[in-house]
Each structure stands twice: as structure tokens, then as C-alpha cells.
A and B are shown apart, each in its own frame.
Chain A
Amino acid sequence: MASLVLALPSKGRLKEQCEAWLAKKSLVLRQTGGERGYSATLDGFDDIQIRLASASEIGKALLAGDIHLGITGEDIVREAASDVDARLSIEARLGFGRADVVVAVPNGWIDVETMADLAEVATDMRRQTGRRFRIATKFTRLTAQFMREHHVADHRIVDSAGATEGAPAAGIAEAIVDITTSGATLTANALKILDDGVILKSESCLMRSKLADWNEATNATAAQLFNRLGLARL
């Protein structure tokens, strides 16, 4: 890595929000190779190599040290590795891409309000049926850690690739862990969030990989960029 590499979301609302955030700092992103290209330049920063990638690819690259800086969701990196803080630092919280990772159960469970209730229900269910309580989620790491912290012993995580909110109604799981912004999708699926069931309040962040190839030149470029963005110096 000769020059500083900054990765930004390649499509969708997140890409637009990133561009708007940069524009507020008078920084213009120009995509090379047209709308579908995966590289770009940042006006005034010729020595920054911009890569456009999916939010999850940016997370992986930050954790591996393949890029210096990147914008992605905190939920994505926290789910991808257990030693996140040793691998990267969060330099700025950007105020968009907000999503809470939450534990939700059917709203008819009027006897379950807290994680302690969930732990009891899980134990009851295993004792009564011989099967563990199932939690559908794509956030297996965050869920396992949160359940451990709340002493939920008799559960099992069911990997869910999509439409997680439908899992209880479909009989795939008893509870779910999913992201929510307004809670509307959960409500529409007759689910409620537990009182102490917020695992992570996530948003898009500018992150710095601690494992990337940092040298005098890339440090200087990053300092200039941070200065322009109005962030504290590295």
C-alpha cells in the first residue's frame, strides 16, 4: 500500500449519505468508470486511493488491515470479530446509518420484559421440551456474547440470512436478534423489544485500521484529511 486507502460504501442510501457528509465538508467524490465503477477520487486529495465496496467488505478490510480508513456500520465490525478494538479505532460517529441491534420476542409474551425473564423462559422450555430455546439472527457473535452476559444458558442460535423478523411466526425460532431503526418492522410482525434488550446502538462510523501499513506519508495524508473533516488529529 503506497498511498492511503479510504473505502466508502458503493451503493444505496449509505453511499448517498457518505457523499452528502463529505460534501458538507466541501469534499467532492468523483466516481471513476461511471456510476458502476468501484474506484473514485476525492478532489484535493490526489494521494488518497478511494475504494467503493459493500459495507461488510469494508468492515472485513478494516479488521484485516487491507485498508487504512473506511466508513461502515459499527454493528458490522463488532459482529465480524471479537477483538475489534485491537484491530481498529472509531474516529468519528457520523450520525447516519443508525440501527440498533435488539432482542425481540412475540408481543403476546406478556410475562417476558427483561433478559432475566428470557433466561428463565429458555430454562423452562428446555426442561419441558428437551429442546433449547431458539434465537434467529445473522448477528451470531454479538448474540452469543450478549446471552452469555445475561446468563441465558439454554438457548441456541439459528443462523438467519434474511427476513429474520418472520422467524417466530414461521416457527423457525422463539425470539430474534435483529437491527431496527424505528421498530416499525418489529411491531408489524407482532414483536416487542425487551426492556434491556438493546445489544448495540450502531451507526455509520469513520474507522481507522490499526493493522494497516501506516508510514510517514500515509499518516501525513490522514492528518490532512482529518483536518479538512474537522476531526481531531490522529
Chain B
Amino acid sequence: MNQETGPKMQAAWAALKARGGQEVALPTLLPAALVLELAGEDVRPRLYFASGPDGAELCLRADLTIPAALNYVQNATTDDEPVAWVCEGKVFRAPKAGEDRAPEFVQIGLERFGDADRIEADVTVFLAAWEACQAAGERNLYVRLCDGGLLPHIIAKADLPDPWNSALGEVASHQSALKRALAQASGTAPSRQISALERTIAELDPERARSTVAEVLALANLSLPGNRQLSHVADRLAARAKRAIATPLAPDLAETLTKLIQLNSQGSLAASLDECVTLAEKLGVDLMDWRQAWTLRLDRIQQDAPKALAHAHFEALSPEAFDYYDGMAFDFAADPSFARPVATGGRYDTLVGEISSGARQARAVGCVIRPARFGGR
């Protein structure tokens, strides 16, 4: 028995299974295009590729979440058909330059789909991950909680002036893009010069703007192949020009948004959540339901695992690496930098829709544990 599959992992696996779930074997080989479509090009340098005899481009799984969601899409007969799966197996990720670890390692995980009660499912998954780590003897873990749905919700509901409401709303779930858009909105990023054509288009109604762009393209013999149509080009030209000539966002609004994006308090969870509510109020957004949902989650966690929140903090924006997560998300680590978490999890309600090109929808939440990192390794 090697270190990864030793008694600690067995204890963690037993604890995870105790939270309920059918044991499933998930596919190891996945269509490469699907994985890159879902996880993005940043994972490409970490993937191992293979080609099938029919020329199909495949890759070895780099996590358990994508194969679980794929398995769900292939087997669920209706949207939101409830299932809970526990899975165990190797995942394959090329080490980064200078990173000293094996290219394949074991993960164990719990993936739940179709739960009617989101909060209860969030709590179950959090507790399963926590109990698995405790069973493996992991003590004094730091816990980071965040909410991938918070900023998109606030920005969608906030009382922001045109064109900044749409400019920020379009990138609300991307940490770095949101920071860049906010820098432009608050006038701290250099603004670009716009041409006479752009200025004209910005002032026309959308229909006139489109016909003007069509004329320009025809006169200059320019072509628009593929998926991007005239309306996309004209609308974006107008939006970009409007941003360049718009009055910057009022400093107090920009400051409130910046505070929300940067909210990363190491203090009490309740204080951080209250601060979100207060900041959102300044933007005209009522977060009382959201706050109530978090109170419920935290109370339920506290009830079953009183020590889980001893070293916990909340961040308003998910770290970039949590690309899937569009709701509650968490990770546990022995080190407060969270550079090498032993467990990660969260809600990914949009993933099943993305995998199936919209053919299937399902609420989903899951977690994975990396036993090789037990003991602070």
C-alpha cells in the first residue's frame, strides 16, 4: 500500500462515503475539445493528450468534476434528476516548471446533482469534505469560503449608470476582467481615443448604427465570416465608444465596488458577510436573503462540525482557479496561503448545461480531497 492509498486515505474515503452516495467509476479518457472548452486553455499545459485509432483527440482526466458532470449528462433521464456519487481515482496533471510532484495522483470526491434544497446540499458537501479530512487526522486546517455568484448578482441588481452597468455586468464572474473593467469605469485606466465613425455610431440608435456599419464594410470591401455578425460588431463598436466618452463612475460607487472585490477579511465570518450586505446596500442592492442563506449554511456547519469554522474567512470573489464555481465555494489548507489545499469544493450549477450544450440542466455541488497532501505535504 503506497502513501497515497494508505490508512489515512482509507479513513477519509470511509468518512466521505458516510455522508451518502453511490460509488461510481468515472471515465478516465475524455474528449480533449470538451475539457478545453469547459476548463479553458490555461489547463492545456497540464493535460496529457492521447489520440484514438479513429483520430479522436482525447485527454486523461485532470479532475473528477468534469467526468462526473459528463457521466450525469449521459445517464440522467430528466433535468435535475437527483443523484449523489462518491468517486475515487487517479487524475493526471503535468507538474508546473519547478513543481516537485508526481504527474498522477489520487483524488476522492463527492458530487451531488439535482438537489432541490441548495443550502442543505452545500452543507452536506462541505461537511463530507471536512469529516474526510478530520478522519485522516488533518487538524488546524484553514478554511476559505467564497461565493462565485455574489458579485454577478450585485452588479446585475446595482443602481449603476449606463454604460458601466453592462460593461461591469458582462465580466462580473471574471476576477481579473472585472478589475480591468472597474479601472476603466472609475477613470483610473487610460482612456482610448475614438474615431469620428465610432463617435457617430455611439450616438445613433442600434438599427441605424448597424446599417451604418454595413455601409462602411461594403464600401471598404471588408468581410465578416463565421459566427460574428454585423449586429455584434456594430453593438460593440457603439458600446466601446460610449465607454470611452462616458462620465466615469462616481468615486463612491467605484470605491464600494473595489471594496467588495477586495473583500478578503481574515476576521469573523459574520462580520465579513455583514460587510457585504452594507456595501451592497450602498449600491442599492438588498442582500438580506443572501445573508440569511449564509447564516443557515454556517449554523448547520457549526451544529455538525463546531471546529470547522475556527480558522475560517470569507472572500467575496472566487479565486480565479475556481472557474467552475458559481455559488458557494470552499477550500481547506494546512497553510493560510491556500497554495496547496487538501480539499476544494463548491457549487457549479451551470456546468451540466455547458457540457450538454443546454440539452440538460442540473443543480450541482461537489468536493474533492487530495490525500497526497495529507500531513502538510
Q: Name A's B-contacting residues (CB within 8 A).
A: 82-83, 106-111, 117, 119-121, 123-125, 127-132, 140-141, 144, 147-148, 151, 153-157, 159, 168-169, 171, 173-174, 190
- Is B226 among interface residues, defined by CB-CB distance under 8 A? yes
What's the nearest-Cβ distance from chain A to residue B51, in Å? 11
Residues of A within 8 A of B226 (CB): 106, 168-169, 171, 173-174
Question: Contact between B237 and A110 (Cβ–Cβ < 8 Å)?
Answer: yes
Closest B residue, CB atoms, query A159: B57
Looking at the complex, which one of B213, B228, B237 makes contact with A106 (CB distance below 8 Å)? Answer: B228
CB-contact partner of A130 in B217, B233, B358, under 8 A: B358
> In the complex, what distance in Å separates the CA atom of A123 from the CA atom of B233?
14
Q: Contact between B236 and A111 (Cβ–Cβ < 8 Å)? A: yes
Distance in Å: Cβ of B231 to nearest Cβ of chain A? 11
**3 tightest A-B contacts by CB?**
A108-B224, A108-B222, A111-B237
Chain A residues with CB under 8 Å of B42's CB are 144, 148
Query: Nearest A residue to B96 by beta-carbon distance?
Result: A82
Q: With A and B bound together, what is the CA distance between A109 and B213 in angstroms?
A: 10
Given A110-B197, A124-B236, A168-B225, 13 additional A-B pairs, CB 8 A: A82-B97, A107-B223, A108-B225, A109-B233, A110-B213, A110-B216, A111-B240, A144-B41, A151-B180, A153-B174, A157-B36, A168-B226, A190-B225
Q: Within 8 Å CB of A120, what residues of B? A: 236, 240
B44 — which chain A residues lie within 8 A by C-beta? 140, 144, 157
Residues of A with C-beta under 8 A to B97? 82-83
**Nearest CB of B to A101, in Å:** 17
Kindly list chain A residues whose C-beta atoms are within 8 Å of the C-beta of B228. 106, 109, 121, 125, 174
Would you mind naming 21 contact pairs between A and B with Cβ atoms under 8 Å apart?
A: A82-B45, A108-B225, A109-B224, A110-B222, A110-B233, A111-B240, A127-B170, A129-B227, A132-B36, A144-B44, A148-B42, A151-B176, A151-B177, A159-B57, A171-B225, A171-B226, A171-B227, A173-B226, A174-B227, A174-B228, A190-B225
**Chain B 9-44 near chain A by CB (<8 Å), digits 1 or 0:** 000000000000000000000000100110011101
Residues of A within 8 A of B41 (CB): 144, 147-148, 155-157
Question: Do B233 and A119 touch across chains, with their CB atoms under 8 A apart?
Answer: no
Q: Contacts A110-B222, A151-B180 given; indicate if A156 touches B170 (C-beta within 8 A).
A: no
Is B171 on the interface with A (CB-CB < 8 A)?
Answer: yes
Which residues of chain B are near A140, meaning CB under 8 Å? 44
